[in-house]
Amino acid sequence: MSQDFRELLKKVGSGSHTSKSLSREEADAATCMMLTQTATPAQIGAFMIAHRIKRPTPEELAGTLDAYTALGPTLPAIADGRKALVLSCPYDGRSRTAPVVPVTTLVLLAAGVPVVLHGGDRMPTKEGIPLVELWAQLGVNLAHLTLAQSHDLLNQTGFGFVYLPQHFPQANALVPYREQIGKRPPFATVELMWSPYAGPHRLVLGFVHPPTEALAQVTFALRGQAEWMAVKGLEGSCDLARSRTAIVGIHPSNHVPGEPLERLLLHPRDYGFEGDDVPLEDETSLGEALLSVLVGKPSELFKTAQWNAGFYLWQSGAAESLEAGLALAYDLLTQGQAMAKLDELRHHTTALIVDLVS
């Protein structure tokens, strides 16, 4: 048993009247002890559920992110110095609505915008389809690439992927605790705020509950994350809904401390994109549905993909307005440039895997 960890556990787990929040330094130490398994399994499980009940503070989240930076992987900057978008989606995936993150990524790549994603395998509590499986259905196998190879892929194609089981096994070893406690621990919030990328970038945080955005604002101020955006997306992802108003909080690099976030309220009907969100009915055929979008076949999923890709083209600076972004997204999808990026990713990942085996 770790006596040091026991003292930290006592602080967060003493009940509603006597529990205390950890300092940033204490949260860093506690996270390091969990990631290195210095704490015992009983201590780790107790901490996760106690911390969830207490609710994390920005200082605690900043400390946990400090530990992730110290012990976790960092994908080096792309060689040409372009600013990337880091899209942070819940690691437990999607189970109700069809995701279009891969299509958004391919459209951005076709427009010259680098994209970094991160995630793991199926994860409690939702056990939804994760990003790595979506890409595999499209013929892009990312699970076996080393971090150096992921950096090669970033330099060659503009796309980087940090995969928890391969690149951060210490964090992946904590996943079974989520199943055992039956609830998302604060680590699930940390993953949305984590940016495993060293180059200039804009972090996009997907969220469901409004308090997450407020937590992020203070946490990022403590951590010096200068440029980020919070998207109230489908199932907490970075995908904008079409069935409701898109709520987006923007923190530009020149944001004045203490000032409120710039707020975007985007009504899909104002741009001709109002409609139901496409349900996720058959996971095994999702890749085929995304491929139909990439070859320009009209559908409700195509409209969802265009709506999202257009928004991110605008926000990344590849288009001057949302209207221009939507038009550019349509062209890149129907004229084959996004599909060409998929073929490029397939080619490079296959070559990297062959090099790894040989």
Domain presence at residue 33: yes
pLDDT at position 31 over 90: yes
Q: What is the distance in angstroms between the CA of the first residue and the CA of the last residue of the chain?
A: 43
When divided into structural domains, the chain yields a total of 2
Average pLDDT of the chain is: 95
Answer yes or no: is pLDDT of 14 > 90.
no
Q: Domain for residue 144, yes or no? A: yes
The answer for residues whose C-beta is within 8 angstroms of residue 233's C-beta and 6 or more apart is: 89, 206, 207, 239, 240, 241
Q: Angle at Cα 178 formed by Cα 240 and Cα 44, nearest 5°?
A: 130
Q: What pLDDT does residue 41 have? A: 96
Asked if residue 216 belongs to a domain, the reply is yes
Q: Say yes or no: 61 and 143 in one domain.
A: no
pLDDT at position 154 is 98
Residue 160 in any domain: the answer is yes
pLDDT at site 226 = 86
Does residue 346 belong to any structural domain of this protein? no
pLDDT computed for residue 178 by the predictor = 93
Enter the tokens of residue 140.
Answer: 């892009």
**Does residue 155 share a domain with residue 31?**
no
Least confident span in 162-176, 263-277, 289-303, 343-357: 343-357
Q: Would you state the structure tokens that stand for residue 322, as one six-digit string? A: 């949302």
Lowest mean pLDDT among 6-15, 192-201, 289-298, 318-327: 6-15
How does pLDDT run across 256-269, given as a tens digit for each residue?
777 888 999 999 99
Decide if pLDDT at 358 tops 80.
Answer: no
From 48, 71, 94, the end of a domain falls on 71
Residue 14, domain member (yes or no): yes
The reported pLDDT for the residue numbered 228 is 97
Please indicate, yes or no, if residue 353 is contained in any of the structural domains.
no
Do 317 and 211 sit in the same domain of this protein? yes
Residue 20 sits in the same domain as residue 116: no
Label each residue of 285-326 as H, E or C: HHHHHHHHHHCCCCCHHHHHHHHHHHHHHHHCCCCCCHHHHH
User: Same domain for 323 and 225?
Assistant: yes
* Residue pLDDT, tens place only, 80-128: 999 999 999 999 999 999 999 999 999 999 999 999 999 999 999 999 9
Look up the domain containing 105 and give its range: 84-339
Give the pLDDT mean for 28-41. Answer: 97
Return the percentage of the chain with pLDDT > 70, whole number: 99
CATH number at residue 13: 1.20.970.10
Q: How far apart are CA 156 and CA 169, in angstroms?
A: 26
Assess whether 10 and 108 both reside in one domain. Answer: no
Say what the pLDDT of residue 174 is: 97
Please check whether residue 348 lies inside any domain of the structure: no
Amino acid identity of residue 158, one-letter, is: G
User: What does the angle CA 343 – CA 85 – CA 134 come to, to the nearest 5 degrees?
Assistant: 45
Residues 108, 193: one domain? yes
The pLDDT value given to residue 43: 96
Same domain, 269 and 335: yes
CA atoms within 13 A on the CB side of 130: 23
CATH number at residue 220: 3.40.1030.10
Pair (129, 50) in one structural domain? no
Which of 43, 71, 99 represents a domain boundary (last residue)?
71
Confidence of residue 18 (pLDDT cuts 50, 70, 90): confident
pLDDT at 1: 67
Q: Nearest CA to 183 among 59, 55, 33, 94?
A: 55
Together in a domain, 67 and 123 = no
Cα-to-chain-centroid distance, residue 264 = 20
Same domain flag for 8 and 49: yes
Are residues 130 and 16 part of one domain? Answer: no
> What angle, 0 to 180 degrees and rounded to 10, lies between the N-to-C axes of helices 101-110 and 286-294?
30
